[in-house]
């Protein structure tokens, strides 16, 4: 359920009673101790096992009056999921306080009713409905109420939905099977989001800022500068930039010049396992982008000795300079207390690590690109993201609930080109299916974070490094369900002020098909 609670973003020991009113999700299924989880939740699901999630709106009916922002109406979007439109949590499918909605999540791979009706076989011989190369991993759910997405998500309505693929023994939630990824308590989601506080310590939202909101504090799972004690072994971290507007570039650093910080092995981009793992020193994310990484805190030298003594400290940092809500500069700042988001503290505890060696993950194929050659592109479209009369627009139009901007045919593949002028950055999200980037600024993409299936992509200023992107082209399929879905900027301040369209998937017999 969605409800209002008191939440302390600071250390309760250092700042007791420094509570803000936040809106958050609560799991109404009690744990073994009869307690209910609240805050940044994590729901686990498996392919082949559908989920019915009843979301009860328990927010106060006078929600906008309690702090001056947010609205007590819900529309819960399972971001990156392949779901029917009525369970997508679109911007107009909201409901009032005291009401509830049942969302059906089939947890089935794309193509099951169109391009891959007979299913597919994983190379290990396991069969599944749909295209196994469309397997997903790290999803999240958040509020999507039209005109109030930024305010409601900023207020706390954001959590994780992790989807496993034990049916084909891929990402199994068991580090002794499949890809053997770190599992259980060694698989940790981290939600990064900005917060602004007023003089009383209460969370504050500037409703008059339509460019993009940067906080005076960056939080990890709704906490300011927390620490995490880690054992000497490999961990999987699921990073999510929940915005509302800040881009982040994450890296692991060491305060001790004699100890080199561990590298990150990236295994997923957005909600999708990569074709092959990537060894990276930093990861840039726009709002709503995700990255799964593995970090080995139990690495040993050639003699079998631990590289990191007990008590070693590392920091997870965001060193990307961003001065306002428009876009980052692309400059990487020096490490400092201001850039530190979270502290890792290595314990001396010996522990069993059954997860795969990093060298194995870096050489084996995880999820290759789907073969789309049998579904040729027949329709090409262009969408320009800009401003008009002080409002955010797409193709010159501010968002209208009554306007459908495209009618893709169910089962088809299209080519879309997104453009944007200079001076701004836009992390753009398309509901329903992932896309594959074919061109960035007219050239074949080469950057690591373009070499995967995506559901969010950065265009505009400082999209990659210090380079801007004025044009980006990708192919996308529209399969299995008919109905309407949105495309929008996930700088949610831009979304709420008009930078969104809707498209409607229709059968080939529809009079608007292909328009």
Confidence of residue 488 (pLDDT cuts 50, 70, 90): very high
β-bridge partners, 43? 161
Q: What is the mean pLDDT of residues 341-352?
A: 90
pLDDT tens for residues 179-207? Answer: 999 999 999 999 999 999 988 888 999 99
Q: What is the pLDDT of residues 394-432, one digit of tens each?
A: 999 999 999 999 999 999 999 999 999 878 999 999 999
Q: How confident is the model at residue 37 (pLDDT cuts 50, 70, 90)?
A: confident
pTM score of the predicted model: 0.96
pLDDT at position 309 is 93
Rounded to 10 degrees, the C-alpha dihedral 223/227/231/233 comes to 70
Average pLDDT estimate for 56-70? 80
Q: Is the pLDDT assigned to residue 39 strictly greater than 60?
A: yes
Say which range, 59-63, 262-266, 352-356, 476-480, has the weakest mean pLDDT: 59-63
pLDDT, residue 158, reads: 97
Cβ atoms within 10 Å, residue 251: 20
Rounded distance between C-alpha atoms, residue 136 and residue 301, angstroms: 35
Query: What's the average model confidence in pLDDT over 234-242?
Result: 98
By the 8 A CB rule, do 148 and 67 touch? Answer: no
For the chain, list the domains and their CATH numbers: 2-107+136-166 (2.60.40.420), 187-363 (2.60.40.420), 377-505 (2.60.40.420)
Position 202 scores a pLDDT of 86
Spatial separation of the C-alpha atoms in residues 78 and 93, rounded to whole Å: 13
Q: What is the mean pLDDT of the chain?
A: 94
What pLDDT does 137 receive? 96
pLDDT at residue 111 greater than cutoff 70: yes
Residue 44 has φ and ψ, to the nearest 5°, of -105, 135
- Report the range of poorest mean pLDDT among 10-19, 301-310, 372-381, 409-418: 10-19
pLDDT of residue 64 exceeding 60: no
Q: Does position 4 have pLDDT exceeding 70, yes or no?
A: yes
Q: How confident is the model at residue 12 (pLDDT cuts 50, 70, 90)?
A: confident
* Statement: residue 3 has pLDDT above 60: yes
Place of tokens 């373009």: 450
Distance separating the N- and C-terminal Cα atoms of the chain: 39
Confidence label for 449 from pLDDT (cuts 50, 70 and 90): confident
Query: Is residue 313 within 8 Å of 259, Cβ to Cβ?
Result: no
Please report, for residues 244, 263, 323, the alpha-carbon distance to residue 215 in angstroms, rounded to integers and kept in the order given.
9, 28, 11
User: What is the tens place of the pLDDT at every residue in 66-82?
Assistant: 678 999 999 999 999 99
CB neighbour list of residue 254: distance below 8 Å, 6 or more residues apart: 260, 261, 312, 313, 314, 315
């Amino acid at each position: 359920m969605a409800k209002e609670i008191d939440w302390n973003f600071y250390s309760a020991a250092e700042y007791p009673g420094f509570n803000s009113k936040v809106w958050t999700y609560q799991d109404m299924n009690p744990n073994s101790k009869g307690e209910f989880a609240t805050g940044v939740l994590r729901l686990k699901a498996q392919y082949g096992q559908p989920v019915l999630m009843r979301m009860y709106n328990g927010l106060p009916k006078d929600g906008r009056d309690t702090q001056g922002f947010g609205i007590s109406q819900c529309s819960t979007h399972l971001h990156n999921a392949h779901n029917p439109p009525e369970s997508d949590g679109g911007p107009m499918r909201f409901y009032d306080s005291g009401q509830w909605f049942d969302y059906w999540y089939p947890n089935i791979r794309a193509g099951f009713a169109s391009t891959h009706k007979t299913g597919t076989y994983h190379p290990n011989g396991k069969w599944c409905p749909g295209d196994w190369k469309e397997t997903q991993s790290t999803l999240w759910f958040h509020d999507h109420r039209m005109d109030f997405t930024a305010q409601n998500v900023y207020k706390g309505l954001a959590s994780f939905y992790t989807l496993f693929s034990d049916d084909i023994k891929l990402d199994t939630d068991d580090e002794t099977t499949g890809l053997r990824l770190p599992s259980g308590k060694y698989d940790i989601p981290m939600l990064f989001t900005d917060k602004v506080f007023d003089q009383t310590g209460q969370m504050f939202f500037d409703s008059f800022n339509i460019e993009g909101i940067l906080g005076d504090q960056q939080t990890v799972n709704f906490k300011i500068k927390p620490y995490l004690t880690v054992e000497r072994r490999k961990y999987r971290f699921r990073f999510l930039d929940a915005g509302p507007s800040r881009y982040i570039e994450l890296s692991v650093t060491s305060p001790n010049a004699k100890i080199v910080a561990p590298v990150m092995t990236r295994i997923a981009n957005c909600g999708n396992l990569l074709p092959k793992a990537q060894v990276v020193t930093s990861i840039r994310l726009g709002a709503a982008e995700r990255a799964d990484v593995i970090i080995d805190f139990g690495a040993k030298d050639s003699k079998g000795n631990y590289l990191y003594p007990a008590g070693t400290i590392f920091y997870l940092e965001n060193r990307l300079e961003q001065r306002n809500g428009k876009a980052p500069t692309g400059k990487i700042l020096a490490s400092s207390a201001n850039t530190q988001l979270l502290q890792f503290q290595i314990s001396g505890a010996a522990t069993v690590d059954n997860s795969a060696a990093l060298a194995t993950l870096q050489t084996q194929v995880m999820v290759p690109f789907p073969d789309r050659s049998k579904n040729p592109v027949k329709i090409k479209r262009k969408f320009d993201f800009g401003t008009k009369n002080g409002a955010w627009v797409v193709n010159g139009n501010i968002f209208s609930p009554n306007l459908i901007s495209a009618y893709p045919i169910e089962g088809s593949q299209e080519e879309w080109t997104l453009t944007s002028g200079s001076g701004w950055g836009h992390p753009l999200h398309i509901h329903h299916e992932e896309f594959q980037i074919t061109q960035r600024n007219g050239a074949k993409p080469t950057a690591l974070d373009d070499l995967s299936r995506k559901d969010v992509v950065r265009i505009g200023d400082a999209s990659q490094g210090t380079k801007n992107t004025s044009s980006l082209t990708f192919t996308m399929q529209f399969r299995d369900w008919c109905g309407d879905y949105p495309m929008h900027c996930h700088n949610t301040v831009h979304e709420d002020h008009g930078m969104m369209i809707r498209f409607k998937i229709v059968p080939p017999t529809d009079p608007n098909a292909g328009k």
